[in-house]
Amino acid sequence: MTVDGRDDTQINLLITREQAQLVADAASALGQTVEEFTISVVEREATQVLHDAQTTRLSNRDRDAFLDALDSIVAKPNQALKTAVRRYKKLGG
């Protein structure tokens, strides 16, 4: 359904009376309608869930092992990098 240029979708939920009252009370406490409250909470929680799913969490031990592994790598510039540096310096860099 398109309303005011928006493509809206409806989600129907079956919840208990207690859950409905809790949501209504929380919405009222914030001066929002149940719909406004529900949308804001669901959107905020969904965003957090997706963020958490995309974030790698390491223990201190794992973080230290990862950083130690990075520090132990002996990095030497390859020919392409050396050529790029010479070109950069030649251009006045």
Query: pLDDT (tens digit, 9 = 90+) per residue, 3-36?
Result: 567 788 999 999 999 999 999 999 999 999 999 9
To the question of pTM greater than 0.75 for the whole model, the response is: no
**Cα–Cα distance for residue pair 79/11, rounded to 1 Å:** 58
**Cα–Cα distance for residue pair 73/80, rounded to 1 Å:** 19
Residues in contact with 34: Cβ distance below 8 Å, sequence separation at least 6, in sequence order: 23, 24, 27
CA dihedral 50, 54, 58, 63 (to 10 degrees): -140
pLDDT at 62 over 90: yes
Residue 49: C-alpha distances to residues 4, 65, 89 (Å): 29, 27, 47
